[in-house]
Amino acid sequence: MSTPALELSGLKKSFGKAEIIRGIDLSIGKSERHAVIGPNGAGKSTLFNLITARFQPTAGTVKLHGEDLIGLEPYQINRKGLSRSFQITNIFPKMTVFENVRCALLWSQGYKYSFWNLVNRSRDLTEGAEAILEQINLTERRNLPAGTLSYAEQRALEIGITIAGGADVIMLDEPTAGMSHSETDYITDLIMKVTEGKTLIMVEHDMGVVFGLADRISVLVYGEIIATGKPEEVRGDPKVQEAYLGAALEAEH
């Protein structure tokens, strides 16, 4: 079997005495859409932050395509092909929508820290950014400052920035948080479309989105994964129902 896209083993994180992540082993295969669910405070965002080096883990390893990520800086991890979005919208609010996307393309197109290229002169950059805008349906908003977009549009833009660099492992932290039903459907379709053929790892509260998108689901409770499997398996797991799903599903209906 080929190496998994992302492999976590024995991952732990403590803040002082509080153990937030208590030993996680998880393997996510290539082109898999994987959702991490769990009650509030289970450590889902912390797990994301550990993988992307926003926090340093207390113990354990994170491997991307078999390569160890521990000790690398966020920008180095990004260059290895892992890209993420944030729970709280994290864009460049003063720049235009177009520029937001273009900035996301610069490194992957090899411009690096160059000061001998003019970004306006590059057709690749302009066309690449246009193509992404087309994909996330923000072409009409192209020249507006990103900070003036509606919430759902900013979330869409964030997804656009996340995928623009061509990373093959995409991590989305609650992409539909705080959205109306129609907005949620819109973002779900968008995620479907833009993660075609890529590995997706997402934290999500909305069960409709999770069961609609995910190939496999992991349930995180108090810093431990209590179940991993296909949606129907997880749904039927009595432990999961006890810990989390029952309550959440009741709330849904």
Partner 1 sequence: MTDQITTDPTKPSERMRAGSMTLSLGPWIVAAVLLAVLPFIFTNNSSITIMNQMWITVIFALAYNMLLGQGGMLSFGHAVYAGVGGFACMHIMNASDFFAALPLPVLPVFGGLFGMGLAMIVGSFSTRSAGTVFAMISLGVGELIAACSVIIVAFFGGEEGVSGDRTYARPFFGTEFLQQIEVYYLISAWVLIAAALMYLWSRTPVGRMANAVRDNPERAEFLGYSARWVRFYSFVASGFFAGIAGGLFAINYEILTEENLNTTSSGVILLVTFLGGVGFFFGPIIGAIAFTLLQTVLSLQTELWAFYAGTLFVATVMFFPGGLAGLMMMHVPVFKLGKARLLILPYLKTLLPALIGILGLSALVEMVFHVRHAAYGDDEMTLFWTTFNSHDILPWVVALGVTAIALGITRANAPALRDAWNEANTAGGSA
Q: For partner 1, what does the binding mask look like between residues 28 and 57, x meaning CB under 8 A?
A: ------------------------x-x---
CA pair distance 136, 155, nearest whole angstrom? 10
* Sign of CA pseudo-dihedral 26, 196, 51, 212: negative
Residue with tokens 């970004």: 119
Instruction: Return left, alpha or beta for 43; rule: phi > 0 is left, psi -120 to 50 is alpha, else beta.
Output: left
Tell me if 211 contacts partner 1 by CB under 8 A: no
Tell me if 107 contacts partner 1 by CB under 8 A: yes
Query: Tokens standing for 249?
Result: 């599903």
Report which residue type is found at 44: K
Tell me if 119 contacts partner 1 by CB under 8 A: yes
Q: Are residues 37 and 52 in contact, defined by beta-carbon separation less than 8 angstroms?
A: no
Stretch that binds partner 1, among 17-25, 37-45, 72-80, 183-191 (CB under 8 A): 72-80
| CB nearer to partner 1: pick between 101 and 210 | 101
Interior angle at CA 184, CA 160 and CA 220, nearest 5: 90
Of 32, 99, 168, 215, the one binding partner 1 by CB under 8 A: 99
Of 71, 75, 182, 196, the one binding partner 1 by CB under 8 A: 75
Q: For partner 1, what does the binding mask look like between residues 126 and 165, x meaning CB under 8 A?
A: x---x--------xx-xxx---x------------x---x
Tell me if 84 contacts partner 1 by CB under 8 A: yes
| CB nearer to partner 1: pick between 4 and 165 | 165
215 in helix, strand or coil? coil
> Of the candidates 30, 70, 1, which has an alpha carbon nearest to the alpha carbon of residue 200?
30
Which residues form the interface with partner 1 (CB under 8 A)?
A: 52, 54, 73-75, 78-79, 83-84, 90-95, 99, 102-104, 106-108, 111-120, 126, 130, 139-140, 142-144, 148, 161, 165
